[in-house]
Every structure is written in C-alpha cells, then in structure tokens.
Structure 1
Amino acid sequence: MTNLLLIRITCPSRRVAEEIADAALEQRLAACANLEGPVTSTYRWKGVVEHAFEFVLWIKAPDAHWSDIEALVNTLHPYDVPAIVALPCAHASKPYEAWVNENTDA
C-alpha cells in the first residue's frame, strides 16, 4: 500500500477545475492534477433528477493532505455539496510515489 490518494472532484466548469488544481499545486498539497471532460452527470438534487455537463478533476496527493485538499475544494468550489472522493492507491511505482512526495509538503 502506498501513502497516495487519487482524489476525484466534479466541477461545473474548466475554470473552476483549473483554479482548484492550481491552488492545490501552489500550496504543495498535490503533485499533479488531470482534467477530463466535459462529462455528462445525472444526479438527484433537492428531490429532482438533474442533468449537467461537468469536468472531472483528478488530484494525486499524499493521504496526509486529504483534510487540507477537502477544505480547499470547499472554499473554491461553487457547489453547496461538491462531489469530492478519494481512492487510496494500493500500488504505484516507487519512483512515482517518491516524486509525489518530493513535490508536496508530505
């Protein structure tokens, strides 16, 4: 098991996703971010099924930075309840894991 997380955040626009990614890297909370989309999202909000185009932001970071990244997203994200989930990385190449740790304040 590694100490890395793959954090997935859905964002309403490319601009919001890039702002979160830039802030996470500038604050050395994450070493890398990837942006995908737009994707189609279907979800229930306040009792109504909604459809929207969103962008998926993937952040690679040490597990120790989860709370700070969650707080950052809650500050910068316009949604009342941003979809932010973290997947533990069971395996990563040793050089990549070292690179992530070297490029964050882990």
Structure 2
Amino acid sequence: MVINNKSYQLVLSTYPDSETAKKTAISLVNAQYAACVNVIPKLISIYKWQEKIKYEEECLLLVKSRSDYYSLVEEMIRTQHPYDLPEIIAVPIEVGLNGYLAWIDKALSQ
C-alpha cells in the first residue's frame, strides 16, 4: 500500500529459537528500522537442505516496516542471524488501516 509516496512491507525471517529471534526484533525496533516485530514461536518448518528433508522447530519474525528500509532490515537480520542462509522475504502490504500505516511512519522517524 502506498500512502504519501511511501510503500509498506512485511519482512519474514525464521529463527532457530525465540531468544535469538527476540534479540533481533529488539535491535530492529531500537534502531527504528521496524515499527513492530512479532515473534511467533514453535513453527514447524519442513524443507530440503543439502539433499535431505529437514523438520525443524523454529520461530518466525514478522517485521512491519517500509520498503525504503528493506536494505537496513536485511543487513541487521543477516549480521545477527545464526544461519548461513537465513530466510529473509519481503512482502508488500497491499491494503492497511491508514492510522496503522501512519503509526509505522511515526515509529520509523522518531
């Protein structure tokens, strides 16, 4: 969604545990790269890695930010993430409550 020429996005990243995920979430909010980060614990991820099917319990970060902050968000996740190849996926927010999106702007500019 674009308001005042700003586009908003949700960045997703999985982590091996909630403590590691919380550290990155706090860093993102403290740096004002994200307005809010949800840590969703106890996901089961099923994927193929190095020719083997893996089943892992992970946590998911949902990072609410803007697309012009993506490179900052990505860099912080990459530098703090324990995985060699972390999942970092940005999804555009197509529709959102105007007041909530304005709150994101305010949180990123304080």
Q: TM-score, normalised by structure 1?
A: 0.95
In 1: Cα distance, 2:18 partner to 2:96 partner: 28
Structure 2 match to 1:43? 47
Structure 2 residue 72 is matched with structure 1 residue 68: yes
How far 1:105 sits from its partner (Å)?
3.4
Structure 1 match to 2:107? 103
Show structure 1 runs of 4+ deviating over 2 A: none
Structure 2 match to 1:21? 25
Aligned partner of 1:89: which letter? I
In structure 2, stretches of 5+ residues that fail to align are: none
Secondary structure at 1:104 match in 2: helix
Number of residue pairs the alignment of both structures matches = 106
Report the RMSD for the aligned CA atoms in angstroms. Answer: 1.2
In structure 1, stretches of 5+ residues that fail to align are: none
Aligned partner of 2:24: which letter? I
In 2: Cα distance, 1:28 partner to 1:64 partner: 12
Q: TM-score, normalised by structure 2?
A: 0.92
Aligned partner of 2:104: which letter? V
